[in-house]
């Protein structure tokens, strides 16, 4: 059974926390566990509501389901969240333009199943190194993949926050899925871009490679991001895929 720790922090520049996280090492509906990071967008509390409503919708849908295939279940949950965000924005003028990223994962037998929309990320760390599993749905990522922007410059590009896909952005939404053999997962990091725009991969890998507890590593990552400026909300979930401690952690 995986062992996890989750934390979210407002950072140093924002007036509210528009990130929302959920982490359960215990079974939820037909899933063996579930981990979610959402990073909301929109003014007048719209981003805060979008991330919270999205996570709650996914959790409730999974909890009430029975026997569905995990990938299809998560796809349905993402689509349901997208519909609810669109409907909420249509009913309330002040929520126009609300949306959120969403990255999630669960263990399916001998694999880790990962789903994402937007630019919140999932990485894994093993003795072979630190690797990003998800692919950002963002303008700068498209530029990197087209060869017009290098990865280092992308992290500080002025349009790095422009995302090309989000929960609530359009009626039709595509979800990306990834599967990783559990034997190759090691330590999983899920995070909002408030972490990765503040500190680089080498700093993150240095923290993850240490011998400290999950809670201590997460706290160090938050502290480093704030020390670098804390320009955005910062959310971190760390999952030890070889863990054996039962427990559940929700938004702090």
CA distance 222 to 199: 10
Taking the whole predicted model, whether its pTM rises above 0.75 is answered as yes
On the question of pLDDT at 80 being above 70, the answer is yes
Please list the residues that pair with 131 across neighbouring strands: 124
Please list the residues that pair with 179 across neighbouring strands: 113
Arithmetic mean of pLDDT over the chain: 91
Secondary structure of residue 246 in the 3-state scheme: coil
Which residue's structure tokens are 């509501």? Answer: 49
Tokens of 62: 């999974």
pLDDT of residue 243: 59
- Is the Cβ–Cβ distance between 46 and 95 less than 8 Å? yes
Secondary structure of residue 226 in the 3-state scheme: helix
Summarised one tens digit per residue, pLDDT across range 1-26 is: 899 999 999 999 999 999 999 999 99
Please give the biggest Cα pair distance in the chain: 50
Which CATH code is given to the segment(s) 3-250?
3.60.40.10
pLDDT of residue 246: 41
Summarised one tens digit per residue, pLDDT across range 88-103 is: 999 998 999 999 999 9
CA nearest to 176, candidates 117, 113, 119: 117
On the question of pLDDT at 250 being above 60, the answer is no
Confidence of residue 238 (pLDDT cuts 50, 70, 90): very high
pLDDT of residue 26: 97
CA distance 145 to 158: 17
Residues near 9 by beta carbon (within 8 Å), at least 6 away in sequence = 17, 194, 222, 225, 226, 230, 233, 234, 235
Summarised one tens digit per residue, pLDDT across range 133-190 is: 999 987 777 777 777 777 677 767 766 677 899 999 999 999 999 999 999 999 999 9
């Amino acid at each position: 059974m995986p062992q996890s720790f989750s934390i979210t922090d407002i950072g140093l520049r924002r007036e509210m926390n528009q990130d929302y996280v959920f982490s359960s090492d215990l079974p939820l509906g037909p899933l063996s566990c579930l981990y979610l990071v959402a990073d909301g967008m929109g003014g007048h509390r719209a981003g805060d509501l979008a991330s919270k409503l999205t996570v709650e919708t996914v959790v409730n849908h999974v909890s009430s389901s029975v026997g569905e295939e995990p990938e299809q279940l998560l796809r349905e949950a993402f689509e349901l969240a997208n519909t609810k965000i669109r409907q909420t924005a249509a009913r309330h003028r002040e929520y126009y333009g609300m949306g959120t990223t969403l990255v999630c994962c669960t263990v399916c037998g001998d694999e880790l199943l990962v789903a994402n929309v937007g630019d919140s990320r999932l990485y894994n760390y093993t003795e072979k190194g630190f690797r990003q599993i998800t692919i950002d749905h963002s303008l700068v990522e498209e530029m990197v993949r087209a060869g017009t922007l290098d990865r280092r410059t992308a992290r500080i590009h002025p349009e790095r926050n422009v995302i090309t896909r989000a929960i609530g952005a359009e009626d039709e939404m595509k979800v990306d899925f990834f599967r990783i053999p559990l034997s190759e997962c090691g330590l999983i990091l899920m995070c909002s871009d408030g972490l990765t725009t503040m500190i680089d991969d080498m700093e993150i890998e240095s923290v993850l490679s240490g011998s400290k507890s999950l809670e201590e590593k997460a706290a160090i990552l938050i502290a480093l991001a704030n020390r670098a400026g804390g320009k955005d909300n910062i959310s971190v979930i760390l999952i030890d895929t070889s863990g054996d401690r039962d427990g559940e952690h929700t938004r702090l």
